[in-house]
Amino acid sequence: MNRITTSLAQDKKLLSIYFTAGFPNLEDTVSVLEQLQEAGVDMIELGLPFSDPLADGPTIQESSTQALRNGMTTDKLFSQLQGVRENVHLPLIVMGYFNPMMQYGVERFCQRCQEVGIDGLIIPDLPVDVYHEYYQKTFQKYGLMNMFLITPQTPAQRIRYIDKVSEGFIYMVSSAATTGAQGSFGDTQDAYFKRISAMGLKSKLLVGFGISNAKTYQAATSNSKGAIIGSAFIKHLEKNGSKSVKQFIDTIR
């Protein structure tokens, strides 16, 4: 069974952490993965840096730029992850843009993901209908789940289509803005969380964008299976380095 499915079946709220591969230093990737596992997170999203990350806010954009300057490439990431499953047993998801994957070769990319133990992908710029028609069979061939994003503006019909196609979870973007940490959620976001929860979707919901502390984590998970933290964790890595992971996780739950 896919590790994502196993994690989603747990009787608890999940915490997923995103960080950019090769940041803050090129060879920090595996160390951060291992520390996140030791700190008790439930899932990890590993960002594949790209030069034009349109869905990302300034913090993640800057981390991607730094990772690229450090020398991170798709091949380098797969090289770093070789053997990672000897110590890391959590679900690992690669989050990145479709252009580098197409340049690499979609099937070749999926095959390498399977070889190093990746469980799924999040590709913000790959539309669900394009995936469904052209790529789903390839992803399934290599045991990869593909998670899709919805926003407060996503029509109900589209959400139900995404729910039908999805095999993992649905990434529920907390607002229409780009990624970035914020201190709290307002009534509009709370109403959005409740509205999607009330749709009775088969897929579990994980909330992302704007989760930065225990308060926003609790608010996000009150109507979902879990929450995803990215920008706030990257800021922590930037300020404190890659040896202080547990210190951050302890502030969330």
Q: Which of 13, 19, 22 is nearest to 77 (CA)?
A: 22
What residue has token string 């954009």?
A: 61
Rounded CA separation 160/203 (Å) = 10
Q: Which of 28, 42, 45, 163 is catalytic?
A: 45
CB of 224 closer than 8 Å to CB of 172: yes
- Give Rg (Cα) of the chain: 17
Contacts of residue 246, defined as CB under 8 A and 6 or more positions apart, other chains included, come to 35, 38, 39
Please, where are the H alpha helices in 40-155? 58-70, 74-81, 98-104, 106-116, 128-130, 136-141
Q: Which of 99, 149, 102, 142 is nearest to 118 (CA)?
A: 142
Q: Which of 56, 107, 119, 187 is catalytic?
A: 56
Beta-bridge partners for 120: 93, 145
Active site residue 75: no
What residue has token string 């951050």?
A: 248
Active site residue 11: no
Residues labelled catalytic? 45, 56
